[in-house]
Structure 1
Amino acid sequence: MNYRLKLHTVFERENRQIKFFSSIILIVFFLFPQTSNASHIVGGEMSYRCLGGSTFEVSLTVYRDCYNAAPTAVFDPIASIGIFDANNNLVTSLNGVDSGQLLIPQTVDDTLEILLTDPCLFPPSNVCVNSMTYVDTVILPPISGGYQLVYQRCCRNVSISNIINPFYVGASFVINISETALLECNSSPQFMSQPPVFLCVNEPFVFDQSVTDVDGDSLVYRLCTPFDGASFDVPRPQPPNAPPYNEINWLSPTYTLDNLLGGIPLQIDPATGIMTGTPNTQGIFLVGMCIEEYRDGVLISETRREFQYNVGLCSDLTASFDAPSFQCGDLEVNFQNTSINSDEFFWTFNDPANPNATSTETNPTFTFSDTGSYTVMLIADPNGSCTDTSYMDIFLEKSAMEAAFSYVTLDCTDSVQLALVDMSIDSVHSVESWLWQLSDGQISTEQFPLFVVDSSQNLLVTLTTTSSNGCTEEAQQSIPINLIPSNLLPSEIIICEGDAIQLNPHPPVGLPFAYSWIPDDGLSANNIPSPFASPNENITYTLTISDLVNDCFAELQVDVIVLDNPSLSVQNETNGCSSEETILTANTNLTQANFLWATDAEFNTIVSDSSTLTVTPT
């Protein structure tokens, strides 16, 4: 069998590529469905009008939070009003009524206006209440005890402060049409105004919650506890659950029917329906009110309204503005209006050379006639009843300062030491402070700072100087930073006699560098980045790299070791007769070498990696 021997000398190196395989991480998001009973109920009320005979017009108004409610918390497209008799049984025999339900589509959609007792107070912008009114007619023949009309919905806002577990508490809006009302064609009282959407904490309020009654009956107003209704699991029962209904549970002892808002009790005048109070606690509070209707001293009807009162901080109308209190070198001043709760303004600039100079713009710009001190006045809502005025003194002065600087690069190997030299002058005042800002995030307040920059880049340097009179000036320069890597050359390169090798095969690209190699023995050129070297003996080359822009240089060295060309021979030694083993020994003139024995010229089958090979005849 033929054997091939391959010699790997110690100065031969094999480049290996390392492949990185990216793993894909799959992140699975589990989406939880939103329930249809998202909290949104703010309140509601129901009323009726007799249109003649046994025909009644039924009106239901439901209120919802249109700022904090979930997108799925919308008004019912059709309201299901259950009709029950005095024994709490669903009445299913009425004409035009579907299995005891009066199904009414949406009729009027509206957004409540936020009204405050004090016109100079303003609510926050994150308060919004929508109302939806459902109106339809129904024929209700007289029956013993009359009818109970009910609409139920869940759930209320979780943020209500004065009831227990508000998120799981629904609402039942109820009105009774008594037997007397049926026989005498009575109409229930009708509310004349909307409920109060927002109350200012620690501010007294007066709201008219009175009703009007076309029959001229006696009316008595009182606070009452709203009914619970529906459930978290069945938020929209159709038909509604049968009466009677439980009242909601107040979060006592802090909140009770006698103290719905906490602190100072809420009151309602029983004769006029005027509601008064001074809430001293911020929060969201459920309030119920009932209007009893008496005829000849007999209670014939009760109308209920419940609503969620928001109590929070209100803001005043405030005039304010921003402008530089001190400005240098420019007589034109920009004014930034920061007033609150006003859309109309009046400015005066008090320039003696232009005494009639005024403005009604929100954010005016005015050019003063000269340097000096001026008092500027702003009036917010000048034509309203809640006017506020703000004043500000500004001082204008000319600047005699000029900001300037130069720079020097002290070292540029692996990092650049950048010395900045302030050259600013002020012909009138002295320069008192310096602020240096570099685009890589470094800052300094020294007059002559030294920075270390560790990456090649176009570095933007900004100098802001301040003089003793407060004037500031700015100067900028873009400084090219060109780093010279210290690892461009290895410390040692080994070649065989007669071979050539490229020095510095991967020089920096695109940088303004000049190159100089010494000595030039065996070099293809001595002024290029990557010459080829073929010396006859060991030699040390010194490379000088110069930054032509910043007058900076670095010196690097590499030792080139020249080895004699290797020789290889094989010694054949046989033990005993021809049938015994043969020992092949490889010899070389190298002090260190690796050996490979193979049975083919391509070295596909390696049989030994030592200097000897024992061969046994087969």
Structure 2
Amino acid sequence: MRKLPLFLVTCLAMLGFVIKPDKARASHAAGAEIVYEYVSGNTYRFILKFYRDCDGTPPIAPSYNLCFYNHCTASKFNVQADLYTGLIPNTNPALPPVPNGTPVSAGCSDALTKCDDPNSIIKGYQEWWYVCSQDLDDTCDSWRISFSENARNTGQTNIPDGLNLYVETTYDNDYAPFNSSPYFAVKPIPFCCENKPFQYNNAASDPDGDSLSHQMMLPLINGPDECDQPQVAVTPTGGFTPTINPVNNPLPTGGTFSISATTGQMAFTPNMAGTATITELVKEWRNGHLIGTIMRDMQVQVIPAGDCSSVPVVLNTNFGTPTGGKYVTDHYEGCVEQNLSFTFNATSTAPDARLIFVDNHTAPRVFPSGGADVSVTYTGQRTPNVTGTFSWTPGPTDYGWYDLLIGLIDSTCRPPGLLYNNYQIVRIFIWPPTEAFKDTAICPGDMASLAAQGGSDFTWSVLSGSAGSVNPTTGANVSATPAVTTKYRVVSNATLFCPRHDDTVTVTALPVPQFIPMVDKTTCPGTSLILDPQVTQTPGVTYTLNWSPATYLSAITGMTVVATPGDDITYTVVITASNSICRGYDTVALDVLDGFTILTGDTAICVGGKVPIRATGDVRYDYQWSTLDDPGANGVFDDATKLTTVITPSATPPYTKHTYTLTASYAGCPKDSVSDITIDVQPIPDVTVDEDTRICYGDTMLMHPIITPPYTGYIYKWTPGLAMDNPNIPGAIFSALNVGETELTLTVSTTAGCKDEDKVKLTVLPADFIFVSNDTAICPGDTTQLNMTGVGLQSFSWAASGDINDVHSANPYVYPLTTTDYVIYGRDTNTCYDTQMVHIVVRPAPVVSLPDSIVLFPGQSYPMNPVGNAMYYSWFPPVGLSAANIANPVASPLVNTRYIVTATTEANCSVIDSIDIIISPESLIDMPNAFAPNGRNLLKPSHLGAVQLVNFTIFNRWGAKVYESSDINDGWDGKYNNEPQPMGVYIYTIDAVTPTGKRFNKQGNITVIR
């Protein structure tokens, strides 16, 4: 990529924000564009080119704000761009620069425009530059820098009045840092005639040599701080066919508009007079990556057909065949160090036309050395027919793209004072010389990468050496694998007109160790083979052989190795020698016979059956079936030499397992491969069971089946098997558990499914013909009667027992002492036996116990407390009792009485007992002879019966009274005056009266013990 400085004048950087006063909507904005150039570090200089309609308001502003937006960080800021005070390029690049604000009108030199005289009928436009510097410290793939002014001029044919003018420039300083933007070399604003063909080119150029593409877009109307918002396009004026659109009708042309995507050349025939606004978008590409865009918002002045007094000038685009090059679609192609020349011409039908060609071949950055070696000559200047001739011999390094801008001006001043002009870019591409690179040396069999540059549509061929060793044979990059030193030629078919359209490259093949290639072999699994490439050995040279893969090898290094492969495998040996950097390579493929597999597994069959053998195996084997234990020998095979055969085992007993062997042989294999299959030959049983018979319910029957021929591997199955003690043996025992007919089936089979069966019908007769009385319960000592009846009864008998009165009676009496089961046995007329039982429960004996007698003193009563297991009680006589029907009544008789109790258990068994209660006529009083006071007990008279105490007195040994009371329930605590009395003998006196009035006096001694 050629890096050329941008031809921009210096501007002063002023950062900050400009606050502009409110104003009424203006009408002076006729177009704008934003370009930038890299300065140094992260600093860039931004230039706003503003095109002012001199007929609009207000006057030019001293500064404008540029809006910056970093999409990656979502940050936005404004930077003030100030009015540039230096000179700007001339409309004619061949003329000196002019002051900022100089008109860009195409008016005649003596014709005044609106910029010179407000009363002029010729529109006038000024070009004003605003500049600023800004550091782009953050890298981002989408910077947006925009300018907006609410001052579009009015009266336009394709967009409404009163809209904003908005332009923006984008830049990817992440992918392409230090870049300068494209710029437009031709200034607006073009004038053209209504209904007459017109061509125009803004002449976009890139100072860094990046690729450009061109397209039209609708003008934008975003606001001044909306660089972070989506683009808002104008809604075009309606009523046109086709509608106003950026593809073929951006201004009223009837759909005749077109623009070249590669050159930006516009062509159209306007069909409506007036001012129209259009926008060209230029995209900048580097290595296929979009790194930025610029746009020019500009106006086109269409002069009414009645005011166009001349025929427009036309630049002939059908260029002739060049010398020293060729014309391809839309550009010329030439070669370095070869002259390229071509002609172009322009004509006008106006006899007074004075056509003048101008071009930019001497302008900076257009051609090398400022165009010093380029010749552009013209004939017929200032006539209606002018011809130009281009001639250039590019230097050795002058390859690449060049844009020659050709301008055509009719210097005849046409009413109302306009100069008609036309601009076109002629693109030129200079091819570098074709070069092939690079010469190299490789080992035979290795690959060398060859490349070509300086041309296109390359074709490769072999001049000497290994034929067919280049692949592919076309393209800029190919691969070469020569076995010997080979010379290759590459031809650029796209530049055959260039003297240096081909080149050669040599690939030298270095020497390698010599050996005899090994021969591929076929072998059997497990067979060992010696691998030997028979290397030719030079004395004094060390050879190393590395074998791979290591699978099945005895070693991975060595002049020879032993392989014992189990599967197909290919070995590679790399041979290196101490006198060469190149290696020898050889491979040997060992085809291991696949062996064989008997797919049919060990099986069992019925005698007389056949077994088709399924097997897979290598067809190169010789196969042989054999058997050692089948009496039929090889006669059991339908074909003993086939891998898949049919085996029919011998039908001769004894029936057992036989082994059949398959042997696979291959010439050269030291041993055979062997496998076998086992076939269990099993007999077909013949089954005979017992004859049909009758059996009594509850009886059992042993089954006696006959099964032939004898065989230990039979499987037995009785069905139904619920009544059999073991349904899986031949001699099962049948239990007659259900009355009626039962059909039993014995199935005898083998594991191979050889089987037979037989059936027997058993009739089970009922054996429940004796009926006895229900079980019952009695009390001890009771007697009960048993009852029995029978159906078809022939004989019966009760089991012998000492507590039954008659074992042969149908209704005997029994008197058991304990619970007893009485069993009766009977036989009916079918000789079936039945047994029944009556269960007699002897209930527990009732128990009750009372004292024989008790004595009650006057005023006493006695609570009855019988001991026993009874639940219900009945007392007699009831006189003197608190209750007669409870277990514990209280007895208070007035006279001597015998009470009789009847006690009954819950089983309703009863027992009787009695008690005598004797009534004493007098009460009794008595005293103990010792007393041990402890603070809790008292010394007082004891009594039986009611007693009225008159006086109870205690004296110590000296006759002193220590206690006295008349309360029979009170007593002495062993203290006197609250002081414990000493141990010793004390004297007491008692004076009492019984309920009968009898006086009771008693005195005595009592010993106090402590």
- Note whether the superposition's TM-score is higher than 0.5: no
For normalisation by structure 1, the TM-score amounts to: 0.42
Between the two structures, name the one with larger relative contact order (CA 8 Å, sep ≥ 6).
1
